[in-house]
Amino acid sequence: PYECLEQSTSRMVPLVLLSELSEAFKLKNDKKASAALVAKLIARISRMQRWDGGFAYWPSSSQSYPWVSAYAAWGLGRANEGGHKVSKRVLQNARSYLHKQLRKKDDKRWPSQDRTTKAYMLYVLTTLGEQPTGYVSHLFEHRGDLTVFGKALLLSAMTRMKKVNKEMIRTLTEAVTSQVHQTAKVAKVEENLGDGYAPMFHSDTRSSAMVLDALLEADPN
Ordered DSSP codes for 173-205: HHHHHTT-EE-SS-EE------GGGGGGT--HH
Q: State the average pLDDT over residues 124-150.
A: 95
Q: Minimal CA–CA distance to 208: which of 154, 159, 126, 149? A: 149
> Cβ contacts of residue 131 below 8 Å, gap of 6+?
161, 162, 163
| pLDDT of 207 higher than 90 | yes
List phi, psi (to 5°) of 187.
-130, 130
Q: What angle do CA 183, 193, 219 make, to 5 degrees?
A: 50
Amino acid 26: pLDDT? 86
Q: What angle do CA 148, 115, 145 make, to 5 degrees?
A: 55
* pTM assigned to the model: 0.94
Q: Is 134 exposed, middle or buried (0-12, 13-18, 19+ CB in 10 A)?
A: exposed
Residue 151: how many CB atoms within 10 A of its CB? 27
Question: What is the residue type of 30?
Answer: D
Question: What is the residue type of 209?
Answer: A
Amino acid 122: pLDDT? 97
**Buried b / exposed e along 62-79 (16+ C-beta atoms within 10 A):** eebbbbbbbbbbbbbbbb
SS3 55: strand
| pLDDT of 1 higher than 80 | no
pLDDT in tens, 20-38: 888 888 888 888 898 999 9
Split at pLDDT 50, 70, 90, the class of 142 is very high
Q: What percent of the chain has pLDDT over 70?
A: 100
Arithmetic mean of pLDDT over the chain: 94
pLDDT in tens, 35-91: 999 999 999 999 999 999 999 999 889 999 999 999 999 999 999 999 999 999 999
